[in-house]
Chain A
Amino acid sequence: MLSIKNLHARIEEKEILRGINLEIKPGEVHAIMGPNGSGKSTLASVLAGREDYEVTEGSVEFLGKDLLEMEADFRAREGLFLAFQYPIEIPGVSTTNFMKTAVNQIREHHGEKALDAVSFLKLMKEKMKLVEIDQALLSRSLNEGFSGGEKKRNEIFQMAMLEPKLAILDETDSGLDIDALKVVAHGVNTLKNKDNATIVVTHYQRLLDYIVPDFVHVLYNGRIVKSGTKELALELEARGYDWIKEEADATA
């Protein structure tokens, strides 16, 4: 589904991704962990198509097509979704009013008919229930005055609405209490099937108790320095990142 080969990217002369390799198949959950500043959000942004980053080397194939050739909105319509680490506020634009445009743009992209008002509302209701989010919240200006938990839940709500092939959750767990964490995890797990895949970017092992990964990768200094199964996450939890850094710095 996703094949990243030797990906290098930089922002303003500063190289941040320094040769990433990653293969993701349908049905898989991959966790990407790593200390702060290691490049996790950068990787997510580059995949989502943020233009501030310049890819200097390498390739990314998504569902058999060259991802890096696509505009950000085209990637989303092809089935890529990014739940932002820091969802921004957009005054005057409610989730409801841009989601309708988004859903129908994606449907059109796949040759499907636009949803009418009734069907759209039905879909909304169903997905709202999944992430236990209130309609009133969705009618308000996006993220304006939302609590941290509400912002993250809104991200997962949007993911549920758009049913992506590949979802990248960038620290969706940070700032969530345990109840909110369970709701978010339940949403993600419900949406999971054999045809889609998830990348869970996280700092802590905690989320991985609820969203169980097939693979865990450690990103450090712009490279994946270690990969393993969910036991690796537990080890990181127990031992911290210093041993990883030492190992990586020794071989670098």
Chain B
Amino acid sequence: MEKIAGQSILNSLETQFEAFEKGLNGQSQSAAHAVRKEAFTSLMNSGFPGPKSEEYKFTNFTKAVEKNFELNAANADFGLSNTQVSGTQIQGLDAHKIVFLNGVYSSDLSDNIQVEGLKVESLAEGFKSNSALSQENFGTKAKFAEDAFVALNTAFSQHGVTIEIADKAVIEKPIVLYFIGDSSKAELSYHIRNIVVAGKFSQATIIEKFDTVGEHKSFTTSVNEISVSESAHLRFFKIENDTEQAYHISNIHASQGANSNFKVFTFSLNGAMIRNNLNVKLQAEGIETYMNGLYLLDGKTHVDNHTVADHMMPNCYSNELYKGIMDGSSKGVFNGKIFVRPDAQKTNAFQSNKNILISDRATVNTKPQLEIWADDVSCSHGCTTGQLDMDALFYLRARGIPRDKALAILLKAFANDVLETVENEAIKEYLAAIIETRLEK
């Protein structure tokens, strides 16, 4: 048999999976567990992406996990103080707050949400009670056969949330999901699955934020399966500002109904290695999809954004704007796929990826990938990578502004295009402050 990649991880996971199954107490006959087992078998048979994998070509996550993690023991107990926990949260944000500690839902720290039209439940509870929401959605959008890390996440899916927004419900405050990990005693690893169903004509904003506190490394994955129903407006924020020891794989798999509007914002500000998979299926007519991302990297941080806008039906619009600023020996990867299926006439699809390399050790690999099977479409894409505009820098310096300040002004302006698309003021201010501090360092 051909040797499969990531064998040492698989060996550790085998033991982990047995322990995980034992801990399920009677739920091992549930529908969810059948899916997990299937995913685990698939993972064991196919292994992790090897060095030649097309999808993980520039981001060898398999090697990173093999090199940096043992994955042979349960996580140590969570021991962070309340101050450490709240330190990871967005100050000044008026939100419905859900908190997970080391990947486990904390009812103590989470808000008891009593809002008409909004139902937020712990996924573990949903699995236990075989809730319709968890059964109907688990594993339907994120296909484990297509990505080994999704298979890993699926096999170990137990914690996370189900968010159900009723038809016509307008949820004013954002729903923010904080995942806080304690890596002060040992390496930390956990996998999160969220299921989101936004009903017809509903409106909501969801934020997902993973943070690790501690010296040791963390490896976390998250998979969001999202349904944006007819005429719903959903905003989803992924805020990544974790430590230099944090390895994270994020998955957002969404499908949209007619006339719905879905905006996804991905801010990657710090971490060791981050892979963001964002996959949106435009399954009906009149849909709008926005994918906006900013990666501001330094040190050895490696961030890979893989996005797919899959136009399946006519008269839809997608617009993607990703910008990157890379300093130190950081590495950026952008792969943006736009599919326009034969039925998707009158599609408008736009994509732009712009990168600035500040240091000559920083690198970026950017690749647009348009596959168009319909003839009456308007698509455009553009990728640029460059150094800072030296004439602009000279102009500002000629007005008396010192080099580093002038640099910060220009980079902030570059990043602002993405930041300006954030409607929520508290989120925008929070991000602007981080970006400003980073650029003025």
Contact = CB atoms under 8 A, between A and B. Distances in A.
A109 interface: yes
Interface stretch (A35-43, A70-78, A173-181, A210-218): A70-78
A71 B393 CA distance: 13
Interface stretch (B240-248, B277-285, B394-402): B394-402
B400 A105 contact: yes
Interface stretch (B124-132, B199-207, B370-378, B412-420): B412-420
A90 B399 contact: no
Nearest to B408: A101
B405 interface: yes
Given A91-B413, A92-B414, A92-B416, A49 B398 contact: yes
Interface string B402-427: 11011001101110110000000000
A109 B401 CA distance: 11
Nearest to A84: B395
B259 to A, nearest CB: 32
Contacts of A76: 397-401
Contacts of B402: 73, 105
A162 interface: yes
Contacts of B34: none
A93 B409 contact: yes
B391 interface: yes
A93 B410 contact: yes
**B interface, over-half SS:** helix
Contacts of B405: 101, 105
B403 A73 contact: yes
Nearest to B420: A92
Nearest to A91: B413
A232 B3 CA distance: 87
A48 interface: yes
A158 B396 CA distance: 11
A28 to B, nearest CB: 22
Contacts of B406: 73
B74 interface: no
A160 to B, nearest CB: 13
B392 interface: yes
Given A88-B391, A90-B392, A101-B405, A72 B398 contact: yes
B212 to A, nearest CB: 33
Interface string B354-396: 0000000000000000000000000000000000010110111
Contacts of B412: 92
B399 A162 contact: yes
Nearest to B413: A92
Interface in A58-117: 71-73, 76-77, 81-82, 84, 87-88, 90-93, 97-99, 101-102, 105-106, 109
A51 B391 CA distance: 11
Contacts of B391: 88
B352 to A, nearest CB: 13
Contacts of A48: 398
A101 B400 CA distance: 9
Contacts, number: 73
Contact of B399 (A50, A91, A102): A102
Contacts of A91: 413
B403 A71 contact: yes
B403 A77 contact: no
Contacts of B394: 50-51, 72
A98 B392 contact: no
B363 to A, nearest CB: 24
A106 B400 contact: yes
B384 to A, nearest CB: 13
A155 B210 CA distance: 47
Nearest to B414: A92
B413 A73 contact: no
B395 A90 contact: yes
Contacts of B398: 48-49, 72-73, 76, 81-82, 84
A89 B229 CA distance: 43
A81 B410 CA distance: 21
Interface string A157-191: 01000100000000000000000000000000000
A87 B397 CA distance: 14
Contact of B400 (A51, A77, A88, A142): A77
A187 B122 CA distance: 68
Nearest to B394: A50
A72 B409 contact: no
Q: Which of A48, A77, A98 has the most CB of B within 10 A?
A: A98
A114 to B, nearest CB: 13
B400 A109 contact: yes
A102 B397 CA distance: 9
A37 B49 CA distance: 60
A98 B401 contact: yes
A92 B305 CA distance: 25
Given A72-B394, A88-B392, A93 B413 contact: yes
B401 A101 contact: yes
A142 B396 CA distance: 11
Q: Which of B399, B410, B412 has the most CB of A within 10 A?
A: B399
Given A88-B392, A90-B410, A93-B413, A98 B397 contact: no
B396 A98 contact: yes
Contacts of B409: 93, 97-98, 101
Nearest to A51: B394
Interface of B: 389, 391-392, 394-403, 405-406, 409-410, 412-414, 416-417
23 contacts: A49-B397, A51-B394, A72-B394, A72-B397, A73-B400, A73-B401, A73-B403, A81-B398, A87-B395, A90-B413, A92-B416, A92-B417, A93-B409, A93-B410, A97-B409, A99-B399, A102-B396, A102-B399, A102-B400, A105-B400, A105-B402, A109-B400, A142-B395
Given A73-B401, A90-B389, A90-B410, 17 more contacts: A49-B397, A50-B394, A71-B397, A72-B394, A73-B397, A73-B399, A73-B400, A73-B406, A88-B391, A88-B395, A90-B392, A90-B395, A92-B412, A93-B410, A102-B401, A109-B400, A162-B399
Nearest 3 Cβ contacts at the A-B interface: A92-B413, A76-B400, A73-B397
